[in-house]
Amino acid sequence: MTKRHKISAAAAALALILCTAGQPVQALSSTSIGYGQGTAVDSQNCPNDARAFDSQYAQYEAYATTPDQERIILTFDQGYENGYTSAILDTLKEKGVSAIFFLTGDYAKKETELVNRMIDEGHVLGNHGMTHADLTTLTEDEAKQEIMELHEYVKDIYDYEMQYFRFPCGTYSEERLETLHQLGYKTLFWSYAYVDWQTDAQPSPETALEGLKKSAHGGEILLLHSVSSTNAQILGDAIDAFRSAGFIV
C-alpha cells in the first residue's frame, strides 16, 4: 500500500462488501445483458432488480447495492471533462463526503490535475475501461487488456491501484463478470441513476433533486455523471437531503 492510498468513507463502506465465493461456475454465459435497476421497489425503497442482481452475482463480487443500510455511496462516471468536476469536488470537500470516480483511459491521461485532486482529497478511483469498450464484444484476452492497461497506467502515473470496476453503459455478461473476478476486481453497478448525461437536454434542478430524494434508500449506490450541469448545481442540496432523511453520505 502506498502513501496515496488514503482510507476514505466510501472506501471504508465498500470494505463491507465481503462475500464467500461460491463454487466455480461451469459454462458461463457470454450473453450480453443491459443492466437496469428497474422501477419496482421493496419495503426499504430499494429497487427489486438491484437486490436480485446482488443475489445472483455475489459469487463474482459484483454488486448493485452495499450491505450498509445506513449509507448512500456517491459514484461518478468520468468519460470526459465538461468543466463541472472541479465544482463537484469543491462541494464534496465542503460537505466532507468521499465518492468513487470511475475513470476511462482518456480521462486519466488528459485530466491529471483533477485526478490527482481526487486522490489527494480522499476519493476512490474506479476503472471504467481504457477505451470505454463493451467488454461483452471482446475476447477474454482483449477484455483483460482493456481492464489492465488502465489499471497499470493509473498505478504507474498516479501511484494508485484501483480495485473497483464499472461496465461501460452497464453492459455485462457472466463471462466478463468472472473475468473481473479473476483479475481481483469487485464490480459495482448502481441502485439508482437517472438521465443526467445528455448535456444538451439537462433536467431542471428541481426535477432532478426531487427524483434523488424520492429514490433514496439504505445501501444505495448512486450513479451520477460529472458532465451534468444539473448535478453540479444540486449536489450539495442532495447531500443535505440524504442526511436529513437519516442516511450517512
Closest to 65 (Cα-Cα) out of 219, 184, 223: 219
* 126 in any annotated domain: yes
* 19 in any annotated domain: no
* 194 in any annotated domain: yes
List all residues 6 or more positions away from 1 whose beta carbon is below 8 Å from its beta carbon: none
Give the total number of structural domains in the chain.
1
Which residues on neighbouring strands pair with residue 59, listed in sequence order?
Answer: none
* 123 in any annotated domain: yes
* 28 in any annotated domain: no
Cα 128 to the center of its chain, rounded Å: 9
pLDDT band at 18 (very low <50, low <70, confident <90, very high): very low
User: Given a cut of 70, is residue 25 above it in pLDDT?
Assistant: no
* 39 in any annotated domain: no
Q: What percent of the chain has pLDDT over 70?
A: 90
Active site residue 225: yes
Q: Which residue in 151, 181, 217, 225 is the catalytic one?
A: 225
- What pLDDT does residue 133 have? 98
- What pLDDT does residue 1 have? 45
Bridge-based pairing of strands 33-34 and 171-172 is antiparallel
* 174 in any annotated domain: yes
- What pLDDT does residue 6 have? 54
Mean pLDDT of 146-169: 98
E strand or H helix that includes residue 56? helix 48-57
Which residues on neighbouring strands pair with residue 165, listed in sequence order?
Answer: 127, 187
* 35 in any annotated domain: no
Distance in angstroms (rounded) separating the CA atoms of residues 157 and 35: 32
Distance of CA 119 to CAs 14, 73, 103, Å?
Answer: 16, 17, 12
> What's the first-to-final CA gap in the chain, in angstroms?
25
Residue 135: count of CB within 10 angstroms of its CB: 24
pLDDT in tens, 67-97: 999 999 999 999 999 999 999 999 999 999 9
Helices (H), 121-194: 140-158, 174-182
Distance of CA 167 to CAs 84, 170, 193, Å?
Answer: 23, 5, 14
Q: Residue 173 is part of which domain span?
A: 54-244
Active site residue 128: no
Distance in angstroms (rounded) separating the CA atoms of residues 200 and 180: 34
pLDDT band at 27 (very low <50, low <70, confident <90, very high): confident
Q: Which residue in 54, 68, 77, 134 is the catalytic one?
A: 77
The CATH number assigned to the domain holding 121 equals 3.20.20.370
Closest to 70 (Cα-Cα) out of 93, 44, 41: 44
pLDDT in tens, 160-214: 999 999 999 999 999 999 999 999 999 999 999 999 999 999 999 999 999 999 9
**DSSP conformational letter for 58:** G
In degrees and rounded to multiples of 5, residue 28 shows phi and psi of -65, 145
